[in-house]
Structure 1
Amino acid sequence: MRTRVVVGGALVLLAALSGCAAMPAPTPTLPSRVAVELQQLRSDVAARQVEVHLTNGTDAPLTVGEVRIDDPRFDGPSSRAIADRVSTIPAGGTVDVRVQLAAVDCDAPHDGTATVVLELVGDDGTTEVEASAPDPVGFLAPLHARECLQEQLTQAATVDFTGFSASPPGEPASLELTVTPTGSGSATVTGIERTNLIDFAVPGDDEVYPLDVDVSAGDTEPVVIEVPLVPFRCDPHAVQEDKRGTIFDVEIALDGEPGEIELFVGDELRGRILTWVGQWCGFGG
């Protein structure tokens, strides 16, 4: 039998059996010395995933089936990235369960509160418990703000990386950025910031490459910008361990208010760019 409880709260669900008076259901709780928190690794950013970090401080293993995050900032529950998987946390051990985030709900405030629902698996069946989910780094509120800003931007224009041309060592490559107006709004795409792996082939040490693309209501013609790139660093492990080197912060302005969105080049362009960096730096195949 599956029951559900809010840990630390006074809510008790009543089980109703047909033809019988309602009886109080058992009140399972998250086991003592078991802790839950949310994390986001650099490798999770592009895929919009997070880690439910579970710590088992008990003397016995803990088996967890379904894992999901309930948060008013998202349009529905966020569930395991790999469905139907079961995780066993050894006594005194930890496990990170990867969860795929649902789409953001931009009618919700940025400073919402998340809870994690865990399906605990035991010899007598499964029990569902709900626990508060601390976000110690505070990544969820900025993520919600960025994605809602990007959603607002799409009313005026879409911004995408649409091509890449590699270059010989010592010469700049070209990353193609396309701004496609919708004809229904206005915005400015002001600049693009370098990453921990990629810099811009321009004089000086500016971290932002200016774009200054103004979009007005009625515009529909795409604007294509060729952004000149050079590697920011050439140590091999920077490429081999890359997690965010091809995720760019793009600076925009909506209604005169500045902001930033994150823009990933996509898996196909990422592979080509990392190959180019290796060859440009002299350690690629």
Structure 2
Amino acid sequence: MSASFKTLPPQRADAVIGKTERTDLPLPYGPANCLPKGLPEVAPAKIVARISVGDEPPRTVAFPVPHPDPLLARVLRDECSEYLVKQAVNIEFGPEWKETGSGADAVMRGDLIVTRRGPGAVRLVSMGGTTHYIVGHDEPLGVLDPGTQQIRAPIRLSPGRCDAHAFAEAKKAFLFPVRVTLDGGEERVVIVSPPKPLQDRLILYAARTCGLPQQPGSPK
């Protein structure tokens, strides 16, 4: 429990802790409680649980988390930074993508579409790659000036890894970090992902560019 995050309803854990010096248990947490402007400071936190020892009946115990906890502070900062960006603009992959070049030199070209939601100037500083894709773009990536409703920022994607194991185990292949400043402030990061049909096209393009065989059922 913490004022910095929404409290989740109790969840049954059914974890048995043996006579060990340490046992790690996964703990879910709620979304961050963000401010309309600026980043909040992380508030103290505690873990509340119902436990029983041996044959004793269950009882409620609270474990204070050392404050300030660096992990909670980072999670709060990351979530609230993204929240502030999303209050100002919507950033998404455009619908039109084209493959140019051939062989190992082929790249996918398209746009990020940035649409205004709030006031102020928004500068797209850069877009980072992922475990599987390298991102190329002009610098700065794009600027949404006050009074402008929408801009398109051209980007190009190329494979970052070509081993078959990487394609089979891809979990974060489409979580692209975009760095943004709002009204000239500090850089903030928002994660942008392409829609599923475009993800399928990118996988097919990358596999073909890397010279990997197309798997049965792959998108055409």
Regarding TM over 0.5, the answer is yes
Change (3 A) 1:130 1:104: same
Change (3 A) 1:237 1:210: farther
Q: 1:253 aligns to what?
A: 181
Q: Is the 8 A contact 2:177 2:190 kept in 1?
A: yes
User: Structure 2: which 5+ residue stretches go unaligned?
Assistant: 216-220
Q: Is the 8 A contact 1:147 1:261 kept in 2?
A: no
* 1:130 counterpart = 2:62: yes
SS at match of 1:228: strand
CA-CA distance at 1:157 after TM superposition: 1.6
Give CA-to-partner distance per residue, 1:75-95, whole Å, 9 cap, x none.
x21467xx4453334443734
Change (3 A) 1:212 1:71: same
Alignment of 1:157-236 (within 5 A): 157-163=89-95, 165=97, 167=99, 169-170=103-104, 171-174=106-109, 176-182=111-117, 184-201=119-136, 210-216=140-146, 218-220=147-149, 222-236=150-164
User: Structure 1: which 5+ residue stretches go unaligned?
Assistant: 1-69, 203-207
**Residue identity in the other structure for 1:127:** R
Residues paired across the two proteins, number = 206
What CA distance in whole angstroms lies between the structure 2 residues aligned with 1:132 and 1:198?
A: 41
Change (3 A) 1:181 1:112: same
**Residue identity in the other structure for 1:239:** F
* 1:97 counterpart = 2:26: yes
SS at match of 2:28: strand
Q: TM-score if structure 2 supplies the norm length?
A: 0.72
* 1:240 counterpart = 2:163: no
Alignment of 1:273-284 (within 5 A): 273-283=202-212, 284=214
What CA distance in whole angstroms lies between the structure 2 residues aligned with 1:121 and 1:162?
A: 54
When Rg is computed on C-alpha atoms for both structures, the one with the higher figure is 1
What CA distance in whole angstroms lies between the structure 2 residues aligned with 1:183 and 1:73?
A: 24
SS at match of 1:257: coil
Q: 2:2 aligns to what?
A: 71
Q: Is the 8 A contact 1:73 1:112 kept in 2?
A: yes
RMSD: 3.5
Structure number with the higher strand fraction is: 1
What CA distance in whole angstroms lies between the structure 2 residues aligned with 1:215 and 1:118?
A: 50
Structure number with the higher helix fraction is: 2
Change (3 A) 1:94 1:258: same
Q: TM-score if structure 1 supplies the norm length?
A: 0.58
**Partner of residue 86 from structure 1, selected from 14, 39, 50:** 14
Identical residues among aligned pairs (%): 21
What CA distance in whole angstroms lies between the structure 2 residues aligned with 1:190 and 1:225?
A: 11
CA-CA distance at 1:277 after TM superposition: 3.1
SS at match of 2:162: coil
Q: Is the 8 A contact 1:176 1:227 kept in 2?
A: yes
Q: Is the 8 A contact 2:142 2:152 kept in 1?
A: no
Change (3 A) 1:196 1:139: farther
Change (3 A) 1:236 1:259: same
CA-CA distance at 1:165 after TM superposition: 4.1
Question: Which of 135-144 and 125-134 deviates more?
Answer: 135-144
What CA distance in whole angstroms lies between the structure 2 residues aligned with 1:163 and 1:269?
A: 10
Change (3 A) 1:224 1:268: same
